Structure 1
Amino acid sequence: MADHERDLASVREATERLLTAAAKLNNDSVAEPSRLPGWTRGHVLAHLARNADALVNVFEGRPMYASGEARDADIDRDAPRPLDVQLADVRESAARLQDAAAVPADWSRTVELRNGVTDTASRVPFRRWIEVELHHVDLGIGYELEDLPAEFIEREIAFLADRFTGHPEVLHTVVTDGTRAWSTGSESNGPGVTVTGPAPELLGWLCGRRDGAGLDVQGGTLPALPPL
C-alpha cells in the first residue's frame, strides 16, 4: 500500500519549491506561454489550484469536477489573474488539500477521479505529487526533468508503465535506464522493443514532455503513446 503520509510530505515540499520559483515571475511573465500547448503559465498555476480543490472533493466523497467543461472554464477564468493572486490561490488550495487529507479516514477505500478512473485513497497524494512536479517543469522557469527527485522519477516511470500495460495501441516495450527495467504496452502486438536511456529522458517520453530523441531503441522504432 502507498505511504500516503510520506507522499503528503513530498507534496508539501514540491509545492514550496514551485511557489518559491514562481514568486520570481511577474505579471507579464505569468501571461506568457507555458510549455503546454495553448496554456499560459497562468493556466498552469490556475490548474494546480483547481486540481487541489478537486482532490478535496475526492477525499470528501464528491465528484472531482462538476464536468469536464466546468473544469476547463474554471482554469480559463482564473488564468489571467495577477501573480500574487495566483500564488496565494495555489498556496491556500494546497493547504485545503492537506487539511482534507488530515481527517481520519479509511485510506484503503476506493475513490473516483476524472473520467471514471478509480484508485485507492492512499494513492491520491502521489497523484497530486505528479501534478505539482510535472507542472513545475511545464512552467518553463528553469526546473527540468533532471531536477526532479530521484524517487519521484522512478515511481512515475513505474506508474506510467503500468498505465500503458495492456494498451492495445502500445507496442510491448521494455523500458530501462541500464539498472532498472519496466515493461509496458501489449504483448498481443507481437515482438516488442527495448527503450534505453537516462531515467529523466524515459520519464519525459512516457509523460509526453519529450520526443524520445535522447533514447536508444532496439528491435524497432520508438512506440507511439496515447495522450495522458
Structure 2
Amino acid sequence: MTTNTPTRTFDDSRRWVTEGTTLLTSAIDELGVADFEADSRLPGWSRKHLVGHVAANADALGNLISWAETGIEKRMYASPEQRNADIERAATLPVDELLTWYVRGAEALEAAMGRLTAEQWRHEVITAQGLTRQAADIPWMRAREVFIHAVDLGAGITFTDLPEGFLLALADEIRAKRGLSDDDLRDVSGSLPDVAAWLAGRPHNLADAPELGPWL
C-alpha cells in the first residue's frame, strides 16, 4: 500500500464535525435504554462509557475554544485522573441524563466554534497530550472523535459508512504518527475503510496486515 498525502482543509474538518455528530447521534437515538449497558467495541467500555467520553470530549475541546477566544489558558482536562473519573461517572448516570450531557456538549461546542474569528483560529492551544497546536486543528480533533466512536458504539456503523476524504486524512495522519513507511505498508492491500480501520487498531478484513495497537 502506498498513499499520497491527502489535502485536509479547515472547511473539510468543520463539515466532518457536523456529519460525524449527525451519524453518531442517529445511532445513539436508535438504542433502547437497556442497550446502553451493553459493551461497546472498546475493551472495558460499555456504551455508556463511550457516550460519556464523547460528551466529556466536547466539554474539553470547548475549553480550548475558550482559550483561543479569550487568550486565557484553559486546558482540556484538569488532569488525566479527572478525565478518567468523568468517563467512569458517565457509566453510572441515568440514560436520559447522559444523553442530555451529550447533546448539550455537542451543541455548545458547535456554537463556540461558530464564534471564533479567523485570527482566533490561529491562536495556539495545548492538547491533552501536551502538544501545541493552532485552534484551527480543534474541528479535526472533534471529527475524529465522533466518526471513530460512531463505529466503536457497536450499533451497526462501520468504517465503510465514513466519508472517503475523512478516511484518507485519518489514514495519512495515523500512518505518520505510527512512523510507518512505504516498505512497512508494501504488503498491506485492501479497501480504504479496511486500511483505515487497521491503522486505527480496529477490526478489519485485511488478510496479512500485522497487528497494531489501538489508536485514539
| Structure 2 unmatched ranges of 5 or more | 1-6, 68-73
Does structure 1 residue 150 correspond to structure 2 residue 142? Answer: no
Q: Which 4+ stretches in 1 moved above 6 angstroms?
A: none
Between 1:35-44 and 1:201-210, the stretch displaced more is 201-210
Per mean C-alpha deviation after superposition, the further-off stretch among 120-129 and 38-47 is 120-129
Match of 1:214 among 202, 206, 211: 206
List runs of 5+ in structure 1 lacking aligned partners. 166-171, 175-190
User: For residue 106 of structure 1, what is the aligned residue in structure 2?
Assistant: 120
% identical equivalent positions: 34
Normalised by the length of structure 2, the TM-score is 0.84
Kindly indicate which of the two structures has a greater share of residues assigned to helix: 2
Query: 1:187 corresponds to which residue?
Result: none
**What do you get for the CA RMSD once the two structures are aligned?**
2.1
Per the alignment, residue 70 of structure 2 pairs with none
Are 1:42 and 2:34 matched, yes or no?
no
Higher RCO (C-alpha 8 Å, min separation 6): 2
Equivalent runs, 1:19-168 vs 2, <5 Å: 19-61=25-67, 62-103=74-115, 104=117, 105-165=119-179
Q: Which residue number corresponds to residue 201 of structure 1?
A: 194
Counterpart CA distance in 2 for 1:89 and 1:141 is 20
Corresponding residue number in structure 2 for 1:186: none
Per the alignment, in what secondary structure is the counterpart of residue 120 of structure 2? coil
Conserved 8 A contact 1:201-1:215: no
Deviation at 1:173, TM superposition (A): 3.1
Q: CA deviation at 1:197?
A: 1.5
CA gap of 1:15–1:226, structure 2 versus 1, over 3 A, is: closer
> SS of the counterpart of 2:121?
coil
- With structure 1 as the length reference, what TM-score do the two structures score? 0.80
